Amino acid sequence: MTKEEYVIVLDYLPHGYTMDRRPLHMKTAIAQAIGKSQLVLLELVPKRGEALQPHEEVYIGEGKRDKIHHIIGRIPLSKLTETAKSELNFIIQKLVKENEKRFVDFFNNARPINLRRHQLELIPGVGKKHMIEILEKREEKPFESFEDIRNRVKLMPDPEKAVIKRILLELEGEKHNLFIQQ
Q: How many alpha carbons fall within 13 Å on the CB side of residue 109?
A: 7
Mean pLDDT value across the chain: 91
| Helix/strand/coil for 85 | helix
| Across 20-29, 83-92, 122-131, least confident range | 20-29
Fold that domain 6-79 belongs to in CATH: OB fold (Dihydrolipoamide Acetyltransferase, E2P) (2.40.50)
* Residue extents of the structural domains in the chain: 6-79, 99-171
Which band of pLDDT confidence, cut at 50, 70 and 90, is reported for residue 168? very high
How far is residue 117 from each of residues 11, 121, 123, 157, 180, measured CA to CA in Å? 37, 7, 12, 19, 19
Tell me: the pLDDT tens digits for 90-133? 999 999 999 999 999 999 999 999 888 899 999 999 999 999 99
> For the whole model, what pTM was predicted?
0.87
Which element (helix H / strand E) includes 57? strand 57-59
Domain 99-171 has CATH 1.10.150.280: yes
> Other CB atoms closer than 10 Å to residue 111's CB: what's the count?
7
Query: Cα 59 from chain centroid?
Result: 17
First and final C-alpha spacing in the chain: 9
